[in-house]
Amino acid sequence: MHTKLFGNRDKIITVKNLKINLENRVLRFPQDTILKIENLEVSRWSAPHFECLKSIIDPPSFPIQQLKMESSPRSPDFRHTIVKEANSLVIDNRKFGDASWTPILLNLNNRRGCLMNENRRDPPNNYMDLIEDWLERGRPVGTTFSMGLKNNDTAKQCLDTLRQREEVLGSSEKQKTVFLLNMIRYCDSTPDFRHSIVKEAKSLVIDNHSFGNASWTPILLNLTNRRVCLENENQRVPPNNYTDLIENWLERGRPVGTTFSMGLKNEDTAKQCLDTLKQRENVLGSSEKQVQLRINASLILNVSYEMIEQPGRLPRDYQSKWWLRLKVIRRRSE
């Protein structure tokens, strides 16, 4: 049967959803079988199961878009790379309801997590420990965890407790917003860069992949945040090398520690920027990927570029591959 389904194929077999619900049985595939998959569903697998699976999966399939697994909180397999790097992790825990899942959830780094069922503890877990951890340590923008509850009162108790906190910015009957992370993500669909919440955020991350035609320099010139990240390059030709922004910083200065990072698709754009800057009279030092420019007697503008690290995943077409980074540092006294 396996040979009829998978054998004698010349190309990689594309499978959108691969479901394997055999726990401890041998699963044989024809030699040289390679599967390209998006989503994977398994039952109570151990690390050796995942290792065997890797041998027949096309490497660009990783990280898995969605991994659904039946598992116990005592399972060590949440540390396996396939589990850790899945973009979305769905945990079917209906058979393992007695133990606390908070220790597992605290250590998951997936972008999206879903714990399908509530444990059977009394009182039930309202996940305050998890929320406290997120407020203290922060999480990447867009991280979303969903935990199933049986009783509406559990959710109400959680929200009522959170409403007593000092950092509450707003609330409604079934929603709670907390901004303790000093980070906000924005796209250029509104003129609200002038709003105090945006202006006063210590770190501002701008997701602009859907708004790549306009120039972002006018926005960047007027931002006073300590750290700014513009995630993607615009689609102009030639692309923006941000020399206008650099000229502005050299002329007007910025507070020590101010750091702006702008995403670029092509290394040549960054090289062109640095080559232009190296011709200036106020150059204090330079290397292949860095140049230091004097702002005044006490401040230096460090302009550099580096590759964006994306372990285990291929960037999408619109995503940047390089950071062009501007940072104001204090000049050492000679």
Residue 305 sits in the same domain as residue 196: yes
Residue 172 counted as domain residue: no
Residue 51 sits in the same domain as residue 138: yes
Residue 81 counted as domain residue: yes
**pTM of the shown model:** 0.52
Q: Residue 222: which domain range?
A: 183-330
Residue 192 sits in the same domain as residue 92: no
Residue 91 sits in the same domain as residue 205: no
DSSP states of 236-270: -SSPP--HHHHHHHHHH---TT-EEEEEES-HHHH
> pLDDT 10s per residue in the chain (334 long)?
555 555 566 568 888 899 887 665 666 777 778 889 999 998 877 777 788 888 888 989 999 999 998 887 777 678 888 999 999 999 988 776 667 888 889 999 999 999 988 777 667 777 888 988 888 888 887 888 988 888 788 888 888 888 887 777 766 665 544 433 333 444 444 456 777 778 888 888 887 766 556 678 888 998 999 999 988 877 666 677 788 899 999 999 999 999 999 999 889 999 999 999 999 999 999 999 999 999 999 999 999 999 987 644 445 555 788 999 999 999 876 5
Residue 158 counted as domain residue: no
Task: Give 229's strand partners.
Answer: 205, 261
- Cα distance between residue 252 and residue 150, in whole Å: 58
Residue 142 counted as domain residue: yes
Residue 37 sits in the same domain as residue 84: yes
- C-alpha torsion 306→311→314→320, nearest 10: -30
Tell which of 133, 149, 165 closes a domain: 149
Residue 200 sits in the same domain as residue 281: yes
Residue 309 sits in the same domain as residue 187: yes
Residue 145 sits in the same domain as residue 190: no
Burial class (CB in 10 A: 0-12, 13-18, 19+), 68: buried
Burial class (CB in 10 A: 0-12, 13-18, 19+), 303: buried
Alpha helices in 163-238 (DSSP H): 196-200, 217-222
Element (H, E) at 274: helix 267-277
Residue 79 sits in the same domain as residue 211: no
Residue 310 counted as domain residue: yes
Residue 161 counted as domain residue: no
- Cα distance between residue 327 and residue 334, in whole Å: 21
Residue 144 sits in the same domain as residue 189: no
Residue 157 counted as domain residue: no
Residue 138 sits in the same domain as residue 227: no
- Cα distance between residue 290 and residue 292, in whole Å: 7
Residue 99 sits in the same domain as residue 15: yes
Residue 171 counted as domain residue: no
* Total domain count, the chain: 2
